[in-house]
Amino acid sequence: MQSYLQVLKANRLKITPRRKAVIDIFIRCNYRLSPYDVRAKLRRKLSTIGLPTVYRILAELKNAGILAQSLSEDRQLRYALCTLPHQHHHHFSCRKCKKVEEVDFCNFKGISRFIENKLNAKVETHQLQIEGLCSKCK
């Protein structure tokens, strides 16, 4: 938890009970969660929190690099804890059990060069959504 609070500070986000509670949920849960899931879990502690607030906190934590965002098959936002906020990496999520694992390898450079040559463009960022079945589920 301490290292995440430092990331909050570094991003000039105040350490509020709500932000802490959201981070805490993800520390306890290694699975991707929707804003609805997060609100359901928060309601045990913070009964008055509304969905727009949950969305806002999730977006703040995502921008700070604490949470990773993806889209599920139903095109809904899902979030998972990111333990490597300072390093370029990707996430693998299991379609069956929804577990999220970090992948600290990226060979996008080759694709980038191909795109730049083909389109005479400059690639600045990319996102990969990697899904499949985890070691247990496959």
Classify residue 88 as exposed, middle or buried by CB count within 10 Å of its CB (0-12, 13-18, 19+).
Answer: exposed
Question: If we measure between CA atoms, which residue out of 78, 87, 131, 79 comes closest to residue 106?
Answer: 87
Q: How far is the CB of 68 from Zn ion (least distance, A)?
A: 5
Order of all β-strands in the sheet with 130-132:
100-103, 90-94, 130-132
Q: Distance of CA 108 to CAs 101, 102, 103, Å? A: 19, 16, 13
Q: Is 42 in the site for Zn ion (CB under 5 A)?
A: no
Q: Which of 40, 71, 97, 111 binds Zn ion (CB under 5 A)?
A: 97
- Contact region for Zn ion (CB under 5 A) — 7-15, 20-28, 33-41, 75-83? 75-83
Q: Which of 5, 101, 102, 115 binds Zn ion (CB under 5 A)?
A: 102
Q: Is 108 in the site for Zn ion (CB under 5 A)?
A: yes
Residue number, 44 or 122, with CB nearest to Zn ion: 122
Q: How far is the CB of 44 from Zn ion (least distance, A)?
A: 26
Cβ(80)–Cβ(72) under 8 Å? no
> Taken in order 135, 132, 64, 15, is the CA torsion positive or negative?
negative
Q: Which of 5, 7, 29, 134 binds Zn ion (CB under 5 A)?
A: 134
Residue number, 97 or 130, with CB nearest to Zn ion: 97
Catalog residues that contact Zn ion under the rule CB under 5 A.
68, 82, 84, 94, 96-97, 99, 102, 106, 108, 134, 137
